[in-house]
Structure 1
């Protein structure tokens, strides 16, 4: 029986009892307690316990109904909160949601200790907002740049970092901005931005930006390749020396650089570059000898080798001897070990 029906039928019962008693005995009855007297109709005295019981029972039911209602509201609120927590965990954000029920507190505690990973397989729930979030996360994981306002990502999260890398791949002008203010970005973002700028922008733009960043060997190689393709705007000798020094270039690195520049530079320019390198960096001398051999600068090679002991650069000495005996070999057929 519902509370409303209980109240209605209880009131009807009290009225019926009152009417019956009053019709049988309409008189009054007096009660005195501690000099306090109270005179009421007998019918009222009869229904008075019923009224007390009625009020007590209704109060009891109202109390527990209110308690159940508040518990139900707490569960509904916690159901909403757990969805907010799931969204936060999907977006790799800190969750500050509070819960009123123990069951949901336990669930939230468990979820906070689990790494959420969105799988490539299809994902559907009855919650459209979570469906949208998962779809956008999949886009990010697949290399698509998603506007931050759509997800409001935590700037320090892995997901936000991945999205930032996607933006670098998607927007070349943003790459330029990264290289203008590299102190605001991590090394991998800077590297990707640099490689993209080298690939897509002019050598003039690259020369304005590359000094802002710390190069690694891969970045240096791409820079030199760009320079080789644009000899009219190539990096000057002093900068090549500075870059290779900073990158701790070794003998083979300089040989690869010589091969890269061999067809791009004019002979005099290439010889000048590696002559300057050899004066500054001992391990670049072999690359200088390689360049001189490429342009048949035999006398100059002889002169240069006189500055070293007979045990140094044996491959080049052997090549000179072969040439002197009328035999032709290329440097590619000889080892470069000295």
Structure 2
């Protein structure tokens, strides 16, 4: 019942009862209380308990109404807090929240330690949650979203998987961003840096690549090296090669892979000079140097070099040299598997 109607009905009932009582007994009744004499018509004494009950009823309604008001406010505040918790869990940045009601806290506190994944479209969400769900779905579908424009550039942590995926999406659609990542590689997750390097290595030449030699890895370097052809050498020069060799941690097999390419495009003297220097600085390049000596049929230099090494070293190369002294028709590939020679001669 509405409060105004309740008050009206109560007063109407008291008026009816008072009027009826007055018609039956119009006399007065006196009562002394604490030395004070109270004299009212009998009708007033009849409705007085009703009035007191009405007052206490209103007081009771006010107290419980106020209590319910505060509970409702707590529910509203917890609903807002719950929306906030869902928001941070959706973007994989869960945060602890404070709830006013135990009924909410006992379940919703889980969101402070959990991330939520969306598998399908959801209807009936608040505008804020709808917006973030749409953004996440776009990113998952391979679309780049400008988070700064969406005012979300500062909500993601550095290694947040959603942010990382958004970076990867941008790499596929924005060639300029590839170099932006390489220029500030430490500011991006490793997977983004690796993808940027891979895309760069598949598109650019060595002149551009030398600017980023400090962020290159051997995988990306060889991706570029495999693209070198007689028609398009990608500006590959001995000087640039040496810069990459100095910057990267090359292994024995890496040097051989490099030598198998450089023998096609560098002249023999130039190539041997380079690898002679490499093997002096790094023993891991010795197999590659021997490989080139055999490729160029410089057997005297092979003999000299092997004599300078321990007898138990480079046994496959020694066997090939011995055979070539008697049968020049033997080639390196007949005796040595160049892909595994590093494992057979030394452990690197």
Fold shared, TM-score > 0.5 on shorter chain: yes
Does residue 136 in structure 1 map to residue 135 in structure 2? Answer: yes
Q: Who is 1:292 aligned against?
A: 293
Q: Who is 2:43 aligned against?
A: 43
Which of the residues 207, 213, 224 maps onto 2:210?
A: 207
8 Å CA contact 1:203, 1:226 repeated in 2: no
Does residue 155 in structure 1 map to residue 153 in structure 2? Answer: no
Give the number of equivalent residue pairs. 331
8 Å CA contact 2:272, 2:292 repeated in 1: yes
Matching of residues 1-338 of structure 1 within 5 Å? 1-119=1-119, 122-127=120-125, 129=127, 130-149=129-148, 150=150, 152=152, 153-156=155-158, 157-211=160-214, 213=215, 215-222=216-223, 224-225=225-226, 229-233=233-237, 235-236=239-240, 238-243=242-247, 246-247=248-249, 249-308=250-309, 311-335=312-336, 336=341, 337-338=344-345
1:12, distance to aligned residue in structure 2 (A): 0.7
CA distance in 1, matches of 2:99, 2:312: 80
CA distance in 2, matches of 1:73, 1:91: 28
Q: Point out where structure 2 has 5 or more consecutive residues left out of the alignment.
A: none
1:108, distance to aligned residue in structure 2 (A): 0.7
1:70, distance to aligned residue in structure 2 (A): 4.1
Q: Point out where structure 1 has 5 or more consecutive residues left out of the alignment.
A: none
Q: What is the aligned-residue RMSD (CA, Å)? A: 3.1
CA distance in 2, matches of 1:159, 1:240: 33
Q: Deviations over 1:179-223 (max 9, x none)?
A: 223333343333332333232334222111222x3x543244335
Which stretch of the first structure deviates more once superposed, 54-63 or 20-29?
20-29
CA distance in 1, matches of 2:311, 2:63: 106
1:234, distance to aligned residue in structure 2 (A): 5.4
